[in-house]
Amino acid sequence: MSDLNAALDAADAGVEAGLARLFELIRIPSVSADPARVGDVRRAADWLAADLASMGFEASVRPTGGHPMVVAHDQGAPSGAPHVLFYGHYDVQPEDPIDLWHADPFTPELLPQPDGETWITGRGASDDKGALMTFVEACRAWKAATGALPCRVSILLEGEEEITSPSLGPFLEATQGELKADTVLVCDTDMWDRETPAITTMMRGLASEEFTIRSADRDLHAGIFGGAARNALQVMADVLASLRRPDGKVAIEGFYADVAELPQETADIWASLPFDDAAFLGGVGLSIPAGEADRSVLEQVWARPTFEVHGIWGGYSGEGFKSIVVGEAHAKVSFRLVADQDPEAVRAAFRAHVEAQLPGDCTVSFKRLGAAAPVMMPTDSPMLRQALEGLRDEWGKAAVAGTGGSIPILAEFRERLGMDALLVGFARFDNRVHSPNEKYDLSSYVRGTRSWVRILDKFANGAG
């Protein structure tokens, strides 16, 4: 039996034990946004370092200004083998609204589905605990089958991805010599569909912001002041409405100046993809594309910049009715960015737009939440071709090179270490990541692990 086949067999034989490990990890509520869970986030880091150490990695939990990093190295690969750095994140999104979950978010289960699939349920089942464990389990399978990994593998797992990775840049800077490798592998993206693997080569960037609009210096009795006093909530609604044109375009002056059209080659490939708008939107209860009217749904979600409101709050939201003219309104918003758009330039233009909308006796204050530049990966590297071959061998069909959501860390790896990333993901569109009832398909987990086993083999054998 070839080493590859032995490692694939070991991966299959290890599924049950691997799921038990994944369940342990999901049970730790490592919500990075919640200050009350700082101990849980740390516990997830400790758990991962211990697991990696148990299979022979030199593993450690490293402090940062925020949540810690898990760093692990394996030195057992043949001399001259390529060096890969696997990146994942062990923090998860907040679970709220909790009342929409069908079961406890941190009590994972295996749920058989009518279509023959089985779901692994729980917050982080897909994003990113389930996904990162496919790579860890692939390493375990290689070691179990052959005693060693075919490539030199380093692993970096962070605990702040869901809060825009504030510590990652400084950490990469400080550990530069240690984490530099031939490529970064990331497992945090989607498949094209259940049967078709995908490698993501374009990622939208991000600029996120919180802001507060103030009108009167207190909430006022609407029976006395209503009509003459400016209502901060009305101003907030007017401002948010003013940011988006009826045709779905962002209404900020100059917003599209740095937005390039897709390369013709990519546009042609996308046009040929069997993307079903109705199924994509219908799966979440929608039917009318909300984005730029002159763009396809695929362009809207993959290639075009967006403006999104993530939260609004202000005034009275309790039982019954409170007759007030509201003095203070809050919102969280973000922009997804593409091509040459600069997050800080977009942020400045956004702030100028809001200020220009304000009545003269209102004020606004802004709070920067996060930023990431858009990223385009090279589409002609040998390691990309090797990864595509590994996926084709596992899935029996060619992988699609597509685009996806912002993964802000990609710009950090490029800027700090000069490394591009290979984004190989096994998640599905309907995984409800960031939503109640997150799940990961068991087939994503099993065949994802097998895919990594194959990709490491392809890297080790070079060429491609």
- In the range 217-236, which residues lie near its own copies by CB under 8 A? 217-231, 233-234, 236
Residue number with CB closer to its own copies (136 or 423): 423
Give the residue among 347, 389, 400, 393 at the shortest CA–CA distance from 202.
400
Selected from 21, 67, 140, 204, the binder of its own copies by CB under 8 A is 204
Selected from 121, 154, 165, 208, the binder of its own copies by CB under 8 A is 208
Report which residue type is found at 280.
F
Tokens representing residue 256 in the block: 């599209």
Q: Which of these ranges, 70-78, 116-124, 413-421, 425-433, lies near its own copies under the rule CB under 8 A?
A: 425-433
Q: Quick check: 424 and 189 in contact, CB under 8 A?
A: yes
DSSP calls for 389-404:
HHHHHHHSSPPEEEEE
Residue number with CB closer to its own copies (69 or 303): 303
Task: Check binding of 414 to its own copies (CB under 8 A).
Answer: no
- In the range 141-170, which residues lie near its own copies by CB under 8 A? 162-164
Residue number with CB closer to its own copies (357 or 461): 357
Please give the DSSP secondary-structure letter assigned to residue 197. Answer: -
- In the range 440-459, which residues lie near its own copies by CB under 8 A? none
Give the shortest CB-38-to-its own copies separation in angstroms: 11
Task: Check binding of 187 to its own copies (CB under 8 A).
Answer: no
**Please, what's the largest Cα pairwise distance for the chain?**
85
Task: Check binding of 264 to its own copies (CB under 8 A).
Answer: no
Quote the CA–CA distance of 203 and 408 in Å, as a whole number.
Answer: 9
Q: List Cβ neighbours of 126 (8 Å cut-off, separation of 6 or more).
A: 427, 431, 432, 433, 438, 439, 440, 444
Selected from 50, 110, 309, 356, the binder of its own copies by CB under 8 A is 309
Look at strands 328-337 and 183-186 and give their pairing: unpaired
Question: x-or-dash pattern for its own copies, window 267-296, by CB under 8 A?
Answer: -------------xx--xxxxxxxxx----
Tokens representing residue 281 in the block: 């939107």
Give the total of residues touching its own copies (CB under 8 A): 100
Q: Which of these ranges, 1-9, 44-52, 147-155, 237-245, lies near its own copies under the rule CB under 8 A?
A: 237-245
Task: Check binding of 193 to its own copies (CB under 8 A).
Answer: no
Q: Quick check: 186 and 87 in contact, CB under 8 A?
A: yes
Given its phi and psi angles, is residue 57 left (phi above 0), alpha (psi -120 to 50 degrees) or beta? beta
H or E element, residue 337: strand 328-337
Indicate the SS3 state at residue 437: coil
- ∠ CA 258-263-268, rounded to 5°: 140
Task: Check binding of 315 to its own copies (CB under 8 A).
Answer: yes
Q: Which of these ranges, 28-36, 133-141, 416-424, 453-461, lies near its own copies under the rule CB under 8 A?
A: 28-36
Give the shortest CB-464-to-its own copies separation in angstroms: 29
Question: x-or-dash pattern for its own copies, window 100-139, by CB under 8 A?
Answer: x--------------------------x------------
Tokens representing residue 296 in the block: 């396809």
- In the range 324-363, which residues lie near its own copies by CB under 8 A? 324-327, 329-330, 332, 334, 336, 359-361
Selected from 24, 340, 429, 464, the binder of its own copies by CB under 8 A is 429
Q: Quick check: 305 and 204 in contact, CB under 8 A?
A: yes
Give the shortest CB-209-to-its own copies separation in angstroms: 9
Task: Check binding of 63 to its own copies (CB under 8 A).
Answer: no
Residue number with CB closer to its own copies (138 or 364): 364
Give the shortest CB-293-to-its own copies separation in angstroms: 12
Residue number with CB closer to its own copies (179 or 199): 199
Give the shortest CB-395-to-its own copies separation in angstroms: 21
- Lookup result for tokens 């087939």: 443
Task: Check binding of 200 to its own copies (CB under 8 A).
Answer: no
Q: Where are the beta strands (DSSP E) in 63-190?
A: 69-74, 83-89, 110-112, 118-121, 152-158, 183-186
H or E element, residue 111: strand 110-112
DSSP calls for 264-302:
HHHHHHHHHS---HHHHHHTTT--S--S-TTS-HHHHHH
Give the shortest CB-186-to-its own copies separation in angstroms: 13
Task: Check binding of 412 to its own copies (CB under 8 A).
Answer: no
Give the shortest CB-277-to-its own copies separation in angstroms: 8
Indicate the SS3 state at residue 210: strand
Residue number with CB closer to its own copies (151 or 233): 233
- Lookup result for tokens 């729980």: 122
Residue number with CB closer to its own copies (42 or 330): 330
